[in-house]
Structure formats: C-alpha cells, structure tokens
Amino acid sequence: MRNYTRFIPGEEIDAVEQWQFGSIDTAAQLLAARVKAREAEETAVQTESQMQQVYQDGYAAGVEQGRLQAQAELQQQMQAFLANQAQEAAGKLAAVFESAQSELQAAEQTMSQGVLALSCELARQVLRHELTVNPEVVMPVLTEAVGLLGAEFKTAVVKLNPLDLAALGEQIQANFAGIGLSLRADPEVLQGGCLVESAGTVVDGTLQKRWQRAIATLGLSSNWEVPGEPF
C-alpha cells in the first residue's frame, strides 16, 4: 500500500476528476430556491389560513349583526303589536264599561220605577182601607173643592157617594152654612170623593181624578179602580 500522505503519484492522476465550483453554486441555488419555494408555500398557506380566519370572523360578525338586527326588528314588531293590542283592549274595555254603565243605569231606572209603582200601590190600598172605616176623610177634599170656586159663588151642587152623604150630610150643611149647598147622592162618585158644580164651573174632587193627578207628578199612570177588585 502506497503512502499518499503528501503526494499523489502521476499514474493515478488520470483517475481523478477536476472539481467544478459551478456544481456547488448550482446546488446552492437549488437549495435556496427550494427554501424560498417552501417559505412561499408556507406564506401562502398562512395567508390562506389568515384569509379564512378573516372570512370566518367576518361571516360570524355578519351573522351576529344580522341576528341582532333581526332581534331588534322583532322587538319593534312585538312592541308595536303589544301597543296595538293594548289600545284595542283598552277600547274594548271602555266599550264594555260604557255598556255596563248603560245597563246599570237602565236597571236602576227599572228598579226605581218598580219601587215607585209598588209604593203607589201600597198607598192606594191604605187609602182604600181608610175610606171604608173613616168617611170623614172626604171633608178636607170638599173644603178644598168649595174654596176653589171663589167668594163670588154663593150656591153650589155637591155630589157625594150615598154612604158619605148619609154619614156626613148634616155636618156638611153646618160647616158650609154661609153657602147654599145642594147635596146630592151619586153612586158614580166613590167614597172619599166629590163633585162640586156652580154656574158652569166644575171642581172634580173624585178619587179617580185626584189619584191620577197625584201619580202623574211621579211620572206614573194608573187607574184608581182595578177591575174585579172589591171595594
């Protein structure tokens, strides 16, 4: 084995190829190009990832904004609906209240008329009973009727129920001694009533007429006599 520590024998030189520095440069360029390509690829991937993230963020922001806008519009619609419903409900409530007030007033009016009519009927029954037991109740009526004729009337015809005339004839003559009264029995005149006539003037003091005048002031209308009712 030869010692090549310092020299290479000439017969072996042909087997050695000359080193080309261009090969090193080309390899370096290829390596640099690959590095740049890889960096560019990584940059592109990163850029795409960033763009996707931006897109996703923008999409999410748009969705959230759309959701908030839709929610706000829904709230506005709900508020408008509730306001309209409240106004409609208030109108219906006012109409119901007004109708109830009208019905209540009508009911109160009906009840008042009923109570008044009942009171008048009770009064009529009390008067009928009083007339049967106390014939002298006709005296104030007769006094008022004669007084309505005036001082210029000196004579008058007085028609009374036969029962009243029988019970009070003498008393009437005594009480009206200054006036020439002609007392006559008339079965058409009910007890407690009278008719006074003088010189064409008639003062109707019958129970029927007095009763109708009395209840007319109360807004009622009914007859004193009820068909089929015993006196």
Neighbours of 19 (CB within 10 A): 8
Distance of CA 99 to the CA centre of its chain: 7
List the beta strands (DSSP E) in 16-85. none
Question: Which residues have a Cβ under 8 Å from the Cβ of 179 and sit 6 or more positions away?
Answer: 146, 153, 154, 155, 156
Most confident of 73-87, 124-138, 141-155, 191-205: 191-205
- Is residue 195 over pLDDT 90? yes
- Is residue 12 over pLDDT 70? no
Measured distance CA(83)–CA(86) in Å, rounded: 5
- Is residue 146 over pLDDT 70? yes
How do beta strands 155-160 and 180-185 pair?
A: parallel
Q: State mean pLDDT over 157-174.
A: 93
Q: State mean pLDDT over 12-35.
A: 62
Question: Which residues have a Cβ under 8 Å from the Cβ of 119 and sit 6 or more positions away?
Answer: none
* DSSP assignment of 173-195: HHHTTTSEEEEEE-TTSPTT-EE
The alpha-helical segments, DSSP class H, found in 134-161 are 138-149
User: In the structure, what pLDDT confidence band is assigned to residue 7 with cuts at 50, 70 and 90?
Assistant: low
> What is the pLDDT, as a whole number, of residue 129?
72
The reply to whether the predicted model has a pTM over 0.85 is no
Mean predicted lDDT score pLDDT of the chain: 79
Element (H, E) at 159: strand 155-160
Q: Describe the strand order of the beta sheet including 180-185 as a list of residue ranges.
A: 180-185, 155-160, 194-198, 201-205
> What is the pLDDT, as a whole number, of residue 16?
54
- Is residue 180 over pLDDT 90? no
pLDDT digits (tens, 9 = 90+) for 110-122: 777 777 777 777 7
Higher pLDDT, 15 or 81: 81
Q: For residue 79, what are its two tokens?
A: 């508020």
> What is the pLDDT, as a whole number, of residue 221?
79
pLDDT digits (tens, 9 = 90+) for 40-99: 777 767 777 777 776 677 777 777 887 888 888 888 887 888 888 878 878 887 888 788
Q: State mean pLDDT over 103-107.
A: 79
Q: For residue 14, what are its two tokens?
A: 């042909």
Best CATH choice for the domain 134-216 from the list 3.40.190.10, 1.20.140.10, 3.30.2320.30, 3.30.1370.30: 3.30.2320.30
Higher pLDDT, 20 or 62: 62
> What is the pLDDT, as a whole number, of residue 25?
61
pLDDT digits (tens, 9 = 90+) for 122-140: 777 777 777 777 888 899 9
> What is the pLDDT, as a whole number, of residue 5?
53
Measured distance CA(124)–CA(120) in Å, rounded: 6
